[in-house]
Structure 1
Amino acid sequence: MSPQEAQIHQLVADAQKYQFDVAELMKLHVDDAVIVNMAGRRLFGKQAFEAAMSQALASPLQHVSTATVVDRVRFLTHDCALVSCTKTVHDHRAVGDQSALPGRVGVMTYVVVRQGGGWAIASAQTTPLAT
């Protein structure tokens, strides 16, 4: 694995690590990031993403975690890469709070860009797999 690939793997690991820490999670994204979550909700920009995450973490969704595994990193240019992942959803909500989730497993695609000495998330989209 190249040093650049290792940095990208660490970026994805950090996104998972900070999924419940909005301030730290936002540091991993570019200002104009585009996010499409597993439910199909599309957010334009870090501010919209931050607001959505804060709202989710103030709801029973705070008990839903995800685990992401990098399947492949493909460099589009020296400073842009497409990262293919598999995301698994773990629902730890109380039985009464368990509204339907779009899926338990999804395929996730990140577009990451070189920023400063590292990498940042420019786009993220998760598509649920039919079960």
Structure 2
Amino acid sequence: MTAASFEPLTLGIGCRRGVSVEAIEAAVRAALGTRALAHVRAVASIDSKSDEAALAGFCARHGLPLQFYSAARIADVAAPRDGPVQRHLGVGAVCEPCALLASHDGRIVVPKTVAGDVTVAIAADRPPYSTPTDHA
């Protein structure tokens, strides 16, 4: 990849009720590591978090669209299971499946990262084009 090119990224975020925008910001920055926040094109979470002010605030701060997925849709995505998440939300995981769904079936580049009460996973978008065929 050249300096001018990049992989568009999507964030899957899970959080406890009432977390702060700053907590989400810190968790995202930790998960991104050396990747630039400017490469993120969308954020996704479970629809039961659609009223979570910190998620909306983080996305508004950075001009990012926020997408929500139902538990049924999330359950269809293969991801490592988390017992407490299963008990509280009815799905085995949130951040990794949401990142994958928002990435249009891309690939996880940063698996679930936990920072306090926030979990973040990062997926690289699936390219919107086919891989060139071999002309041999």
Relative to the length of structure 1, the TM-score reads 0.32
* Higher share in helix: 2
| TM-score normalized by the length of structure 2 | 0.31
Higher relative contact order (CA 8 A, sep 6+): 2
